[in-house]
Structure 1
Amino acid sequence: MTTRNGNRKRWLVGVTLLCALAVVTAAVLLFQHFQREWQTTSLSVQEGWRASQVYAAADDALSVPEGTTEKAAKRAARQGELKLPASAKGNPEGYLYPSTYVVRPETTPTSLVKSMTKKARARQDATAGAHGYDTLTIASIIQAEADNPADMAKVSRVIQNRLKRDMPLQMDSTINYALHRSTLNTSHADTRVNSPYNTYRFKGLPPSPINNPGPDALEAARHPASGDWLYFVTVKPGDTRFTDDYEQHKKWVEEFNAEQANGA
């Protein structure tokens, strides 16, 4: 009887220890789970951000030194990890898709950029005919030039009409990209900048997208509105005017200049 009771006590102690160990293990795992959740942040890439803006925001989200994400992206592009088309020539601009990305402790600059380019390809798959590099480049110009999504299809038509007529695009946004700035005012000297992104000086599309366009711009690039417009100007926010008459366009540009002079 004594031996039997002793064995039973030892068994109960063993079971109790195992249960206690299981509880402690569960508690540790639960703590680790919540710790991971506490350390999880997000990165919101805005429509129209340039690659340089995306890289800077990613560095901040990942708490890594400035320039880390850009270096990782270029290295991944060279190694074919981003699955960019040959026409991109290793340049991720246009493929860092605007969206919100979860940043966990194990997220690296490379994995974050790869998730962006993967989402870009998926979005292009969902937009019929949006795979062409030229279409992506046009979408980026639309994204930069249109005052609001409602005007995007009209801006797209202006671009298409100018390309068909072998006219220079004369888009201020492409000069801004060349000069690494964002401004509404373009000087005559700016239009003489010797850059392939200067669409005042060089006909056709610039050599790459000038930002990372969102779904509305992609859709507009693929489906431009119907019209004969060759010119447009946003006189003030919410007031973009389109025409095929250059003289009328000049009058509207004068209105725009007056609005700027008045501090609009």
Structure 2
Amino acid sequence: MKILVAVKRVADANVKVGVKSDQSGVDLANVKMSVNPFDEIAVEAAVRLKEAGVATEVIAVSCGVGEARDTLRTALAMGADRAILVESDAELQPLAVAKLLEAVADREAPQLIVLGKQAIDDDSNQTGQMLAALAGLPQATFASSISIADGHATVSREIDGGAETLSLKLPAVITADLRLNEPRYVTLPNLMKAKKKPLDTIRPEELGVDVTPRLQTLKVSEPSRRAAGVKLPDVQALIGKLKTEARVL
């Protein structure tokens, strides 16, 4: 079984980013970039399925600028067998990425496509669902466990009312939640070995996909700062403020 895993290059989760002076977007100059945490979980899930003998090949795919090769090398160091970069300097929005992934899936014919449930830069949570719709494949989102047997994937996921278990006929699309697993630590020797693994680069034009942005960002601004706390002398003063200022009593 072949598994296709999508990975995105984003600002490191531990780095504080700021907004550009013209409010056109987030300032990523000199900012450390890493694999999107949810995509890292997706890669780990795919590699574990291969280690369990369920899958025979894991292919990591990223769409974006040339620097995303470093992101793919991390996925290769985690255990992916080869990687594909769909290189483009355009602003790739969720629909464009879903179309690119569909085109790559048509070429590779994987039995399972795994993505992170969302990227931490835009929090769109759209690409997996759009990909499943475009490809006409069954989908399970926010997976907290995955098992494969007899041509079906069994996926557990948390919902508002509790837990839900789905059975999907393969091929299928699954998006990973935080509870699915804890990604392995990438060691330096594995990073060195990853440099010898195949990494192919293609352009959107080769896939016949138009990646022209459909949405326009009007303004990006930082959230308002939290107001300083106030010390009150006693409970009566607190109740008074809750009544007169907060108006919650």
Same fold (TM over 0.5): no
Q: Which has the larger radius of gyration?
A: 1
Q: Which has the higher contact order (CA 8 A, sep 6+)?
A: 2
**TM (normalized to structure 2)?**
0.24
**TM (normalized to structure 1)?**
0.23
Q: Which has the larger helix fraction?
A: 1
